[in-house]
Chain A
Amino acid sequence: MPSMNDILILAPEFYLVAAACLLLLLDAFMKPEQRGLLHWLSIAVLAVAIYMVVGAAPPVSLSAFHGMFVRDGVATILKVFALLTTILVFVYSRPYLRDRKLFIGEFYTLMIFAVIGVMLLVSAGSLVTVYLGLELLSLSSYALVALNRDAPLPSEAAMKYFVLGALASGMLLYGMSMVYGASGMGGQATLDLAQLKSVMGYTQAPTLLLFGLVFMVVGISFKLGVAPFHMWIPDVYQGAPTPITTFIASASKLAAFGMAYRLLAGGMAEVSHQWQLMLAVLAVLSLAIGNLVAIVQTNLKRMLAYSTISHMGYLLLGLSAANPEGYSAAMFYAISYALMSTASFGVILALSRAGFECEEIDDLRGLNQRSPWLAFLMMLVMVSLAGVPPMFGFFAKLLVLQAAVHANMLWLAIVGAVFAIIGLYYYLRVVKVMYFDKAVEGSELRMQADGSLRVVLSLNALGLLVIGLYWGPLIAWCRNALAG
């Protein structure tokens, strides 16, 4: 029987499940023109969830349901930013959804369920919870990608996402079963990550364990979208409705980091020397493929998709250091990436109108003439993604490079630096199109008139500069979470 204590530890998650069900009911009884209320209610629900996560954050790590669920500093940080980026997605997508007649209750409910998946995943204390959280997130995401079910491109994207995602889940499960088996050879077989960590060293079947580890790394790589498991990323980013892309590129990446952290740094810590090199190789591949292929893209969403692949490569740089400093750098990177991608897709959403997607890089032509403020915000995001100081993105890169140098992987840091130069080119190209090219006659690049979108998007992009100037508290928070 779950004790009251277990339920209290999971209070934010239970609250969100209840709220999502209520919103679903409410939507059924609501007239379509009252949907605005649903929008604000959903935002309020998430804001309260943030308050619950932070306000009652335990000073020490707590676990519930016999260690299935862990509530610690890492979980708190990841949950806060996952909820925050989801709020940003809600704010940015209202005009977009309205213009496309997608402003429906399912969007909000599915998004909230996806966030619950994220929250479970980053709090996972056992292999079962990892899988549960992952599937809740993934299934909601598949449905969200196909939200515009009559359009061919999103349906295709959803199908690809689903097939490849199912394959990856299968790999992950397969790997988990092997690890479970290996843990039983020489000790008590266990699914609990903390126990796995301690029995790992005594296993009689190191080969089996290693096999399981490889399959788990494949599953994680798919979720992160690192090369060579990145195939779904460009198609899904391009095909999905932009709000969903924003979510997949932000909260979902935080979840993927959380999963990698729980599985590798948690359960597999004893064999870190085994997965360190795997991650390093994956990182190099992602940096190369992401940055090089992004150069030739003409579609902005697709370019950002390849940019994601390269950013996940940088994140792996931090993870592959396999020490708390590296994990905190990677977490810092994940947060910075989540905030940068909400802002970059936010700009796309702000420029899209009914019948105009603003997807091509050329669609931004002459933005500085039409809307200097939005061009300025987009420039901030681009230089931050490129990793130019004093932006947030630079310090995130600095920390992961530092983690790599500390872990005696100077070569990896140098590879990361070289690809930062290559990556610079395609981000600068966006700035070039906005600032140096003349606007096409008659093009109407206007920011959506939605007040909340304008304010929040401005705060989001300026935040990249502000955090860049004052990133001390955030990194201290990340480091404390991992030290404690």
Chain B
Amino acid sequence: MFNHLLSLLIWLPVVGAVPVLLAGSGRPSLARWLALAVAVLTFAVSLFLIPQYHLDGAVMQLREDHVWIASLGVHYGLAVDGISVALILLTTFVSILVIVGAWEVIQDKPHQYMAAMLVLEGLMIGVFCATDALLFYVFFEAMLIPMFILIGIWGGPRRVYATIKFFIYTFLGSIFMLIGLIYLYQKAGTFDLHALAALPLSMTEQTWLFFAFLLAFAVKVPMVPVHTWLPDAHVEAPTGGSVVLAAVMLKIGGYGFLRFSLPITPDAAAHFAPLVIVLSLVAVVYIGYVALVQDDMKKLVAYSSVAHMGFVTLGIFIAFMLVRDAGNLDAAKLGMQGAMVQMISHGFVSGAMFSCIGVLYDRLHTRQIKDYGGVINVMPWFGFFYVLFAMANSGLPGTSGFVGEFMVVLASFSANPWIALFAAFTLIIGAAYTLWMVKRVLWGDITNPHVAEMKEINGRETFVLVAFAAAVLALGIWPQPLIHLMDNSVAQLVQQLAVHKI
């Protein structure tokens, strides 16, 4: 089993979706239990990654390699490093919570919802494992189909607009990456990422490729100015869709930078690092202000996601400045680590925020902040969790939100104090928009009579929120295991940054 652990992780949920779909039609509760069983089983299998992954061993481990298309030299190649392991665990963990979260909320064709969720889970795991660029691309694109369906069937009133925008936007980004990959294949004769990383490329080639990759991953992250699909998709998606989108899918953008932009086009990436850094700072500061004025809770959290993901791109690209200009490998490593921790942390925090909004939405069927107020009076326990996640979202020390952002700010300080200054703005703006939302939703008197009738969270919802809360706190108080898990891989990435390949 351990020889094919990664394949198992990918295909278990995908194949598991078939019985859910077949057995579940007409029997909703069977579909739900089956889906939960598959998700839990996948999570259990993913836990084996921890003992199987040797922290001080080679960087890429648990390798699987089969020839997929012999005449083109395409391989079905899988392997993981510490970063992938962390992201896979995040994926399997969040998937369970999403399925539990949708339990009785999704009444319309629940078997299809659950099946789409499971297929999505498998494909996302595939993205994190693939070592062959074409295989990566296949997972990367195939992922869009279940998400398209999820938003389109179970979404809000403008779901069709949002989901088509989501699909076309992402497809637009990635198709140019495909051309880039074809070009690389023509030069290298293989799609193997390791070989592509070793391929010497001229600066012109690197520049074009860098922008092809940037477009694909910037849309996914998303970075300013290609973030506009995200608020729409988030607002219209069902709760589970939003959670997966924010918690895992956005991370694929950041992960793509690590796997493609850094190793394949290091010189162009270093050259254009200031551009990406500026865009990241715009995301942090400007999008923070945009979040402040939102009336819709989901939109607010969506914009806050863009701002938080700005830290991920900032941390990754600040490392270039540090390595190439200052020769400061330690600070570069810190920045990169911060970016990775921020990815995982944002996965938990945004997932939790969207779950909370889902809880509110299920009761009042509105996401407008002005329709709430005084919720704490009727739902004290919910209020407790909501405040906790809000604190994490604004980066309070002791929660996971603090660790990554702090590391990135520290690292950028060594590069340029001005960058650090703008990045640190998030502590003020983030707190402002999150806490202001908390104030308007939770505190105050009950003005809307419907709020008075809201029921306290039930056992199922409590389970989801407790699980998220545990993860947020654990990561905030003791991030060391996570940092340790990714240490080797980050160190190797930082080494790669320094290598010129012109």
| Inter-subunit contact A421/B168 (CB<8 Å) | yes
Query: What's the Cα separation between A405 and B148 when bound, in Å?
Result: 30
B443 in contact (CB, < 8 A): no
| Inter-subunit contact A388/B144 (CB<8 Å) | yes
Query: What's the Cα separation between A425 and B168 when bound, in Å?
Result: 7
Which residue from chain A places its CB closest to the CB of B144 in the assembled complex? Answer: A388
In the complex, given contacts A424-B171, A425-B168, A436-B153, what are 5 additional A-B residue pairs having Cβ atoms less than 8 angstroms apart? A402-B186, A414-B179, A421-B168, A421-B171, A431-B149
* A471 partner residues in chain B, CB cutoff 8 A: 69
* B160 partner residues in chain A, CB cutoff 8 A: 432, 436
Which residue from chain B places its CB closest to the CB of A406 in the assembled complex? Answer: B186
A36 in contact (CB, < 8 A): no
For A479, give its contact among B71, B159, B185 (CB under 8 Å): B71
| Inter-subunit contact B138/A389 (CB<8 Å) | yes
Query: What's the Cα separation between A435 and B155 when bound, in Å?
Result: 12
In the complex, what's the smallest C-beta–C-beta distance from A362 to chain B, in angstroms?
14
Q: Could you say which of B67, B71, B112 has the most chain A C-beta atoms within 10 Å of its C-beta?
A: B71
Query: What's the Cα separation between A365 and B420 when bound, in Å?
Result: 53
Given contacts A389-B138, A417-B178, contact A431 B148 (CB under 8 A): yes
Q: Which residues of A contact B (CB under 8 A)?
A: 368, 372, 379, 383, 388-390, 394, 398, 401-402, 405-406, 410, 413-414, 417-418, 420-421, 424-425, 428-429, 431-432, 435-436, 471-472, 475-476, 479
| Inter-subunit contact A405/B171 (CB<8 Å) | no
Which residue from chain A places its CB closest to the CB of B175 in the assembled complex? Answer: A417
Q: Which residues of B contact A (CB under 8 A)?
A: 25, 67-72, 109, 112, 134, 137-138, 141-142, 144-145, 148-149, 152-153, 159-160, 163-164, 167-168, 171-172, 175-176, 178-179, 182-183, 185-186
| Inter-subunit contact B185/A402 (CB<8 Å) | yes
Given contacts A417-B179, A432-B160, contact A389 B137 (CB under 8 A): yes
Which residue from chain B places its CB closest to the CB of A414 in the assembled complex? Answer: B179
Query: What's the Cα separation between A406 and B185 when bound, in Å?
Result: 10
| Inter-subunit contact A432/B152 (CB<8 Å) | yes
Q: Could you say which of B67, B69, B137, B163 has the most chain A C-beta atoms within 10 Å of its C-beta?
A: B69
* A402 partner residues in chain B, CB cutoff 8 A: 182, 185-186
Query: What's the Cα separation between A372 and B67 when bound, in Å?
Result: 35
For A401, give its contact among B109, B144, B153, B179 (CB under 8 Å): B179
Which residue from chain A places its CB closest to the CB of B167 in the assembled complex? Answer: A428
A-B contacts, 21 of them at CB < 8 A, read A368-B153, A379-B145, A388-B144, A389-B138, A394-B141, A398-B182, A405-B182, A405-B183, A413-B179, A414-B179, A417-B175, A417-B176, A421-B171, A424-B167, A425-B164, A431-B152, A432-B163, A472-B68, A472-B70, A475-B71, A476-B70
Q: Could you say which of B67, B68, B72 has the most chain A C-beta atoms within 10 Å of its C-beta?
A: B72
Query: What's the Cα separation between A429 and B72 when bound, in Å?
Result: 33
* A372 partner residues in chain B, CB cutoff 8 A: 25, 112
Query: What's the Cα separation between A353 and B183 when bound, in Å?
Result: 49
Query: What's the Cα separation between A368 and B153 when bound, in Å?
Result: 10
| Inter-subunit contact B152/A472 (CB<8 Å) | no
* B171 partner residues in chain A, CB cutoff 8 A: 388, 420-421, 424
Given contacts A388-B141, A417-B179, contact A475 B69 (CB under 8 A): yes
| Inter-subunit contact B182/A472 (CB<8 Å) | no
* A472 partner residues in chain B, CB cutoff 8 A: 67-71
Given contacts A390-B142, A424-B167, A472-B68, contact A405 B153 (CB under 8 A): no
In the complex, what's the smallest C-beta–C-beta distance from A143 to chain B, in angstroms?
41
| Inter-subunit contact A398/B178 (CB<8 Å) | yes
Query: What's the Cα separation between A450 and B325 when bound, in Å?
Result: 71
* A476 partner residues in chain B, CB cutoff 8 A: 70-71
* A425 partner residues in chain B, CB cutoff 8 A: 164, 168
In the complex, what's the smallest C-beta–C-beta distance from A44 to chain B, in angstroms?
33
Which residue from chain B places its CB closest to the CB of A383 in the assembled complex? Answer: B145
Which residue from chain A places its CB closest to the CB of B68 in the assembled complex? Answer: A472
The 5 closest A-B pairs by CB, nearest first: A389-B138, A472-B69, A436-B152, A417-B175, A389-B141
Query: What's the Cα separation between A401 and B153 when bound, in Å?
Result: 33
Query: What's the Cα separation between A285 and B138 when bound, in Å?
Result: 28
Query: What's the Cα separation between A475 and B71 when bound, in Å?
Result: 7
| Inter-subunit contact A428/B69 (CB<8 Å) | no
Query: What's the Cα separation between A347 and B159 when bound, in Å?
Result: 26
Query: What's the Cα separation between A89 and B69 when bound, in Å?
Result: 30
| Inter-subunit contact A421/B175 (CB<8 Å) | yes
In the complex, what's the smallest C-beta–C-beta distance from B491 to chain A, in angstroms?
33
* B153 partner residues in chain A, CB cutoff 8 A: 368, 435-436
In the complex, what's the smallest C-beta–C-beta distance from A207 to chain B, in angstroms?
36
For B164, give its contact among A398, A410, A428 (CB under 8 Å): A428
In the complex, what's the smallest C-beta–C-beta distance from B174 to chain A, in angstroms?
10
| Inter-subunit contact B149/A435 (CB<8 Å) | yes
Given contacts A372-B25, A405-B182, A405-B186, contact A420 B175 (CB under 8 A): yes
| Inter-subunit contact B168/A424 (CB<8 Å) | yes
In the complex, what's the smallest C-beta–C-beta distance from B233 to chain A, in angstroms?
14
In the complex, what's the smallest C-beta–C-beta distance from A470 to chain B, in angstroms?
8
* A405 partner residues in chain B, CB cutoff 8 A: 179, 182-183, 186
* A475 partner residues in chain B, CB cutoff 8 A: 69, 71-72
* B145 partner residues in chain A, CB cutoff 8 A: 379, 383, 388
| Inter-subunit contact B71/A413 (CB<8 Å) | no
Q: Could you say which of A389, A410, A413, A417 has the most chain B C-beta atoms within 10 Å of its C-beta?
A: A389
Given contacts A435-B152, A472-B68, contact A388 B142 (CB under 8 A): yes
Which residue from chain A places its CB closest to the CB of B74 in the assembled complex? Answer: A472
Query: What's the Cα separation between A410 and B179 when bound, in Å?
Result: 8
Query: What's the Cα separation between A72 and B164 when bound, in Å?
Result: 45
Query: What's the Cα separation between A401 and B145 when bound, in Å?
Result: 22
In the complex, what's the smallest C-beta–C-beta distance from B232 to chain A, in angstroms?
15
In the complex, what's the smallest C-beta–C-beta distance from B339 to chain A, in angstroms?
28
Query: What's the Cα separation between A394 and B142 when bound, in Å?
Result: 10
Query: What's the Cα separation between A479 and B72 when bound, in Å?
Result: 11
* B178 partner residues in chain A, CB cutoff 8 A: 398, 401, 417
Which residue from chain B places its CB closest to the CB of A429 in the assembled complex? Answer: B164
* A429 partner residues in chain B, CB cutoff 8 A: 164
Given contacts A402-B185, A472-B69, contact A421 B172 (CB under 8 A): yes
In the complex, what's the smallest C-beta–C-beta distance from B138 to chain A, in angstroms?
4
Given contacts A410-B183, A475-B71, A475-B72, contact A428 B148 (CB under 8 A): yes
| Inter-subunit contact A436/B141 (CB<8 Å) | no
Query: What's the Cα separation between A394 and B135 when bound, in Å?
Result: 12
Given contacts A390-B138, A425-B164, contact A401 B68 (CB under 8 A): no
In the complex, what's the smallest C-beta–C-beta distance from A403 to chain B, in angstroms?
10
Which residue from chain A places its CB closest to the CB of B183 in the assembled complex? Answer: A405
* A432 partner residues in chain B, CB cutoff 8 A: 152, 160, 163-164
* A417 partner residues in chain B, CB cutoff 8 A: 175-176, 178-179
Query: What's the Cα separation between A402 and B25 when bound, in Å?
Result: 42
* A410 partner residues in chain B, CB cutoff 8 A: 179, 183
In the complex, what's the smallest C-beta–C-beta distance from B181 to chain A, in angstroms?
9
In the complex, what's the smallest C-beta–C-beta distance from B70 to chain A, in angstroms?
6
In the complex, what's the smallest C-beta–C-beta distance from A79 to chain B, in angstroms?
22
* A431 partner residues in chain B, CB cutoff 8 A: 148-149, 152
Query: What's the Cα separation between A199 and B183 when bound, in Å?
Result: 36
Query: What's the Cα separation between A16 and B121 when bound, in Å?
Result: 51
Query: What's the Cα separation between A123 and B103 when bound, in Å?
Result: 60
Query: What's the Cα separation between A390 and B137 when bound, in Å?
Result: 9
Query: What's the Cα separation between A383 and B171 when bound, in Å?
Result: 12
* B134 partner residues in chain A, CB cutoff 8 A: 398
| Inter-subunit contact A389/B142 (CB<8 Å) | yes
* B68 partner residues in chain A, CB cutoff 8 A: 472
* B144 partner residues in chain A, CB cutoff 8 A: 388
* B175 partner residues in chain A, CB cutoff 8 A: 417-418, 420-421
In the complex, what's the smallest C-beta–C-beta distance from A481 to chain B, in angstroms?
12
In the complex, what's the smallest C-beta–C-beta distance from B236 to chain A, in angstroms?
11
Query: What's the Cα separation between A475 and B186 when bound, in Å?
Result: 17
In the complex, what's the smallest C-beta–C-beta distance from A225 to chain B, in angstroms?
25
